[in-house]
Amino acid sequence: MHAFGEYWIQYTGKVGYGAMMDMGGDTFPEFLENLDELHTRLSINFPKYDPPSFECTETEENSLELHYRSSRHGLTAMVVGLLKGLGTRFNTEVNIVQTQNREEGAEHDAFLIEYKLN
C-alpha cells in the first residue's frame, strides 16, 4: 500500500488529476492544509463519495501533525505512501511517524511529519 500511494501521486495524480492537484498548493505543507478542500471538489463529481478528512496543524517549524479520519479501514499505509509521494512531488524530504493508530484502538490515525524543503 505504501508503494501504491507513492505511485498514485507520481503517476495517476499527474495524468488523471494533475490540474486539480496543481490547485492544492505550491508547497508540501500548503497542499496538506488543503486536502479536505481537494476531496470536497471530488465529491462534486462523485455524489456517493465518502471522502476522508485530514486536519493539519503546524507543531513547530518544518513539522506538522496530520489527523486522518476515514470511514474506510485499511488505507493508513496508503496514506503514508501518498505523503511520501507528495514529498517527492514538492521536492521535500519527509519523515513520517504514526502517533495514533485506529487499528490499535485510537479514534483516528495521526502522524507527526517532519519535512525539509530541498
Identify the bridge partners of residue 69 per DSSP, sorted by sequence position: 53
pLDDT recorded at residue 59: 83
| 8 Å CB contact between 94 and 83 | yes
With DSSP H G I counted as helix, E B as strand and the rest as coil, what are the percentages for the chain, rounded to 5? 45, 30, 25
Mean pLDDT across the chain, nearest whole number? 88
Handedness of CA 98, 112, 6, 8 (dihedral sign): positive
What are the pLDDT digits (tens) for 98-111? 999 999 999 999 99
pLDDT at 90: 93
55 vs 20, more confident: 55
Q: What pLDDT is recorded for position 46?
A: 74
CATH number at residue 69: 3.90.1520.10
State how many domains the chain has: 1
- For 67-76, the pLDDT digits (tens) are 999 998 899 9
Structural domain harbouring 41: 2-117
Indicate whether 64 pLDDT > 90.
yes
Whether 23 has a pLDDT exceeding 80, the answer reads no
pLDDT at position 39 over 90: no
What average pLDDT does the segment 68-90 reach? 93
